[in-house]
């Protein structure tokens, strides 16, 4: 696994590349750090997996002002150009699934196939800023925190991610990423998406409920939906092997009208 420091749109990015094979870009969820994808990357060691801390997350530079989602897509395009990668398969989970949709719509020639996990076509409001503020305020008192979030799905998910070292502990990170989604939707544009798309959804996801997967399936022309029974929002982590098997089968499937693998420039 190698780490790169790249500068795109005048921001320093922390980028991680692992393995060899056809390139697969992994886009993280809200507050997600690079290491969130470690279990999935270990299962997909026959691919060259590329992931990053998006601007404002982890070791990537915090922008002065929040980026809108199209600007995040431009950052991804600039990153791939610097890495000499012309075309990729893209896997996006949750907030990263929204970014994956925007990137595929904005740069269609750079995306061969698309995988959307635990995400929505919008309007997408993963959580309220007040939930984030409340979570980090309560985190200062561990005993109170454990008592008060037991029945609150959003705060339970945040606590799980932070304790596992998968999510940022900087509240500003969440505010900036939530701001990127204000007013965003792909719903009226998805009929233009021509990439073959795999949609993954957990049937017990309290944050992005399974009906969002059905909406994506009906709107994206060449798409298929796989519902993961008994899985919640973090199935990419908690069931990495199961997720990787579905991803591998989808990406290895042959279609006569497609190139066999994404391209890497010399």
Q: What is the pLDDT of residue 151?
A: 40
This prediction has a pTM of 0.89
234 pLDDT exceeds 70?
yes
Mean pLDDT, the chain, as a whole number? 88
pLDDT in tens, 194-228: 999 999 999 999 888 899 999 999 999 999 999 99
* Among the listed residues 108, 118, 69, 99, the one whose alpha carbon sits nearest the alpha carbon of residue 192: 108
Q: Could you say which of 94, 186, 223, 239 is catalytic?
A: 94
Reported as a single tens digit per residue, the pLDDT across 58-92 is: 999 999 999 999 999 999 999 999 999 999 999 99
pLDDT at 133: 64
Whether residue 254 is predicted with pLDDT greater than 70 in this model: the reply is yes
Using DSSP's 3-state secondary structure scheme, residue 20 falls into: coil
Using a pLDDT cut of 90, give the percent of the chain over it: 68
In words, the CATH class of domain 2-124+181-251 is alpha beta
Beta bridge partners of 7: 12
Q: What is the pLDDT of residues 35-44, one digit of tens each?
A: 999 999 999 9
The residues, any chain, with a CB within 8 Å of residue 64's CB and separated by 6 or more, are none
Which backbone phi and psi does 241 adopt, to 5 degrees? Answer: -65, -45
- Whether residue 112 has pLDDT greater than 90: yes
Lowest-pLDDT choice from 102-116, 178-192, 217-231, 250-264: 250-264
| pLDDT score of 126 more than 60 | no
Domain ranges, ordered by start, for the chain: 2-124+181-251
Q: Can 150 be counted among the known catalytic residues?
A: no
Can you give the pLDDT at residue 130? 63
Instruction: Give the H or E element holding residue 15.
Output: strand 11-18
Answer whether residue 152 shows pLDDT above 90.
no
24-33, 130-139, 199-208, 252-261: least confidently modelled range: 130-139
């Amino acid at each position: 696994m190698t780490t790169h420091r790249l500068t795109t749109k005048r921001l320093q990015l922390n980028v991680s590349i692992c393995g060899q094979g056809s390139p697969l870009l992994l886009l993280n969820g809200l507050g997600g750090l690079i290491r969130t994808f470690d279990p999935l990357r270990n299962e997909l060691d026959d691919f060259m997996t590329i992931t990053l801390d998006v601007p404002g997350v982890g070791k990537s530079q915090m922008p002065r002002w929040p980026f809108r989602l199209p600007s995040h897509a431009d950052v991804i395009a600039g990153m791939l150009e610097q890495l000499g990668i012309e075309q990729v398969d893209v896997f996006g989970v949750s907030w990263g699934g929204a970014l994956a949709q925007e990137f595929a719509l904005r740069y269609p020639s750079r995306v061969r196939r698309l995988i959307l996990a635990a995400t929505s076509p919008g309007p997408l409001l993963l959580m309220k800023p007040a939930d984030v503020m409340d979570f980090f305020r309560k985190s200062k008192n561990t005993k109170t925190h454990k008592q008060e979030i037991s029945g609150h799905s959003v705060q339970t998910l945040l606590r799980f991610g932070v304790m596992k070292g998968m999510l940022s502990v900087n509240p500003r990170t969440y505010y900036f990423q939530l701001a990127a989604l204000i007013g965003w939707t792909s719903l009226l544009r998805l009929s233009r998406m021509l990439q073959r798309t795999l949609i993954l959804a957990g049937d017990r996801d309290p944050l992005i409920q399974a009906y969002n997967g059905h909406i994506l399936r009906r709107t994206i022309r060449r798409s298929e939906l796989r519902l993961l029974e008994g899985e919640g929002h973090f199935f990419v982590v908690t069931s990495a092997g199961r997720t990787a098997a579905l991803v591998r089968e989808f990406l290895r499937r042959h279609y006569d009208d497609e190139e066999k693998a994404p391209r890497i420039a010399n």
